[in-house]
Chain A
């Protein structure tokens, strides 16, 4: 089904979506979206939403299952505490993408803002993944406790001299891993992190997500692999364990 969202308040729009889902609708196309917040929040079935336009803050928060395809740029806070499902953004995305995310996958074709993947976490059953086709702002993977961020830097719209990832990369990170295509400056890394070149087993881990990224945005995996990948990982589970113990 289709919903023309032009001029519709987010409360009404989300009520319409939830109603359609409860009636068994499997696929909804949302046209003329501009700034409506909380699209797809808390929906726990495997429906598909296509968003045409610019969705507002906190899209797909607490989402558990749906696939959301955004034909445009996304704003801040998408995938906040997301539990399961998939988000595809065919453009840029703003700050705090995947805040506290605990499951599911987010693919962004272009650049992302600050604090992406902040507080991401994993469990025995779930391992959230964010794949970024462009570059990232400061504090990527801040306080990260689990899951995986893959930063490709291939489809960026920024100048060449803008670094792949900003400063304070992985600050407070104590779990999970950040994979970068190409090296990052040592000074941009947070405390208590190690960095190693990716080989063998690591590739097995990231390959399915590279393939999915390639499939979604038409990038050849072999082109992605023309550069070396690096893995940033925490060397301790408690980087600030002694901070207040004098």
Chain B
């Protein structure tokens, strides 16, 4: 594993800032792509919400030349780990392109792992040890990522979706953006995270976003129900390997929305359901729905304080815990919707939005792309 708790603070210049993680996200609903420089400016406004122990971004629409391939981003802590990973990847997928993830020399980002990306298609031949007959490509990719993260020592796949990618590491987000040269990418959805780790180590794999397929999640808060959620996910073949609570949310989204086919709003209802005393006051139809969701998906309920942004190729969603223990604000300007921890992060890149609002606790803000092509 990489050197944990890598910090940019000089010990003789340590000044404590009162912080909580910071989030920012934007979506152009018409699929128009903007430079990563925009989201970087936004998250930089919330610099003091983090402490330099984690920054990261998810970007959608960045690989148009390989949009039908799965873009696998991997971090490895040694050449051996990378070799082991590569030989495994070759065994189970067809690799059409592979390269180092481009980075810039940086004075603030140090001790980076080996960072590579591969544009692959699953090799669905009969002798593929990971493939079961009738399995979808997505199912295969999930199984492959789980297998690598569990069984290949020192290698972590941190992004595996089509035409999207996660970029993350130990450092402030604006420094991570510079390191990964995000100003050279264009995407129609961007999310960003500034981390202030509280309960788990600040290491490269533990930075946000957490992803599986094209689901990505950035989170401010703590998932107190992590143990229950983790055990529930294990029954469906998901393994939590990244030492951070937020990881469960990425896999829950994949399970509930992709595999169980729940509409996004219903999945959000499972993650942040209304209290029983609210359910008791509902109209019969809604009451029946909420009771069913609370019972069937009791183990998917996220307890504890959270504000999350999750994204996928088709949209961006913001969601708060049921009593709003973390901040979230949204704004709209023309065809672009913004969500962030603080309004200033939105105003930095959109000084005069048409509309600004504070989403209600437990009620998702769902913004879908008008068309996916």
Interface presence of B175 (CB below 8 A): no
Separation of A54 and B340 alpha carbons in the complex (Å): 14
In the complex, what's the smallest C-beta–C-beta distance from B215 to chain A, in angstroms?
A: 28
- Tell whether, in the assembled complex, residue B344 and residue A75 are in contact, meaning their CB atoms are under 8 Å apart: yes
Chain A residues with a Cβ under 8 A of chain B: 10, 34-35, 37, 53-54, 56-57, 73, 75-76, 92, 94-95, 111, 113-114, 137-139, 157-158, 167-168, 187
- A-B residue pairs in contact (CB < 8 Å), sample of 22: A10-B48, A34-B45, A34-B348, A35-B345, A35-B348, A53-B347, A54-B347, A56-B344, A57-B342, A75-B343, A75-B344, A94-B327, A94-B358, A95-B327, A113-B324, A114-B323, A114-B361, A138-B323, A138-B361, A158-B357, A167-B278, A187-B277
Chain B contacts of A57 at CB under 8 A?
A: 342
Given contacts A35-B45, A114-B323, A139-B323, contact A94 B347 (CB under 8 A): no
- Tell whether, in the assembled complex, residue B361 and residue A94 are in contact, meaning their CB atoms are under 8 Å apart: no
Interface presence of B46 (CB below 8 A): yes
Chain B contacts of A167 at CB under 8 A?
A: 278
Interface presence of B133 (CB below 8 A): no
Chain A contacts of B344 at CB under 8 A?
A: 34-35, 54, 56, 75
Q: Which 8 A-B pairs have the closest CB atoms?
A: A35-B344, A114-B324, A34-B344, A54-B344, A35-B45, A54-B343, A54-B347, A113-B358
Chain A contacts of B348 at CB under 8 A?
A: 34-35
In the complex, what's the smallest C-beta–C-beta distance from B221 to chain A, in angstroms?
A: 14
B265-280 residues with Cβ-Cβ distance < 8 A to A are 277-278
Q: How many residues of B contact A (CB 8 A)?
A: 21
Residue among A56, A94, A187 making CB contact with B281, cutoff 8 Å: A187
- Tell whether, in the assembled complex, residue A76 and residue B327 are in contact, meaning their CB atoms are under 8 Å apart: yes
Interface presence of B82 (CB below 8 A): no
B337-373 residues with Cβ-Cβ distance < 8 A to A are 342-345, 347-348, 356-358, 360-361
Closest A-chain residue to B44, C-beta based?
Answer: A35
Separation of A147 and B127 alpha carbons in the complex (Å): 74
Interface presence of B329 (CB below 8 A): yes
Kindly name the residue among B45, B277, B327, B345 whose own CB sees the greatest number of chain A CB atoms within 10 A.
B327
- Tell whether, in the assembled complex, residue B324 and residue A138 are in contact, meaning their CB atoms are under 8 Å apart: yes
- Tell whether, in the assembled complex, residue A73 and residue B343 are in contact, meaning their CB atoms are under 8 Å apart: yes
Chain A contacts of B48 at CB under 8 A?
A: 10, 37
Closest A-chain residue to B342, C-beta based?
Answer: A75
Separation of A53 and B278 alpha carbons in the complex (Å): 38
Given contacts A37-B48, A76-B327, A95-B327, contact A137 B345 (CB under 8 A): no
In the complex, what's the smallest C-beta–C-beta distance from B353 to chain A, in angstroms?
A: 11
- Tell whether, in the assembled complex, residue A92 and residue B358 are in contact, meaning their CB atoms are under 8 Å apart: yes
Chain B contacts of A76 at CB under 8 A?
A: 327, 342
Contact digits for B312-327, partner A, Cβ 8 Å, 1 yes 0 no: 0000000000011001
Closest A-chain residue to B278, C-beta based?
Answer: A167
Chain A contacts of B324 at CB under 8 A?
A: 95, 113-114, 137-138
Chain B contacts of A94 at CB under 8 A?
A: 327, 329, 343, 358
Chain A contacts of B323 at CB under 8 A?
A: 114, 138-139, 168
Separation of A35 and B48 alpha carbons in the complex (Å): 10
Given contacts A54-B347, A94-B329, A138-B324, contact A35 B46 (CB under 8 A): yes
In the complex, what's the smallest C-beta–C-beta distance from B23 to chain A, in angstroms?
A: 14
Separation of A35 and B22 alpha carbons in the complex (Å): 13
Contact digits for B255-297, partner A, Cβ 8 Å, 1 yes 0 no: 0000000000000000000000110010000000000000000
Closest A-chain residue to B361, C-beta based?
Answer: A138
Closest A-chain residue to B320, C-beta based?
Answer: A114
In the complex, what's the smallest C-beta–C-beta distance from A109 to chain B, in angstroms?
A: 14
Closest B-chain residue to A57, C-beta based?
Answer: B342
Contact digits for B208-232, partner A, Cβ 8 Å, 1 yes 0 no: 0000000000000000000000000
Chain B contacts of A34 at CB under 8 A?
A: 45, 344, 347-348
- Tell whether, in the assembled complex, residue A137 and residue B360 are in contact, meaning their CB atoms are under 8 Å apart: yes
Chain A contacts of B45 at CB under 8 A?
A: 34-35
Chain A contacts of B327 at CB under 8 A?
A: 75-76, 94-95, 113
- Tell whether, in the assembled complex, residue A137 and residue B356 are in contact, meaning their CB atoms are under 8 Å apart: no
Closest A-chain residue to B322, C-beta based?
Answer: A138
Given contacts A34-B347, A95-B324, contact A111 B358 (CB under 8 A): yes
Closest A-chain residue to B15, C-beta based?
Answer: A11
Given contacts A113-B324, A114-B324, A187-B281, contact A92 B342 (CB under 8 A): no
Separation of A168 and B277 alpha carbons in the complex (Å): 12
Closest A-chain residue to B351, C-beta based?
Answer: A34
- Tell whether, in the assembled complex, residue A35 and residue B358 are in contact, meaning their CB atoms are under 8 Å apart: no
In the complex, what's the smallest C-beta–C-beta distance from A12 to chain B, in angstroms?
A: 13
Chain A contacts of B357 at CB under 8 A?
A: 157-158
Closest B-chain residue to A162, C-beta based?
Answer: B360
In the complex, what's the smallest C-beta–C-beta distance from B73 to chain A, in angstroms?
A: 31
Separation of A116 and B194 alpha carbons in the complex (Å): 26
Beyond the given pairs A35-B46, A157-B357, 12 more chain A to chain B contacts, judged by CB atoms under 8 angstroms and listed by A's residue number, are: A35-B45, A37-B48, A53-B347, A54-B347, A73-B356, A75-B343, A92-B356, A94-B343, A113-B327, A114-B324, A137-B361, A187-B281
In the complex, what's the smallest C-beta–C-beta distance from B263 to chain A, in angstroms?
A: 22
Kindly name the residue among A57, A137, A139, A187 whose own CB sees the greatest number of chain B CB atoms within 10 A.
A57
Separation of A168 and B45 alpha carbons in the complex (Å): 33
Chain A contacts of B347 at CB under 8 A?
A: 34-35, 53-54
Chain B contacts of A114 at CB under 8 A?
A: 323-324, 361
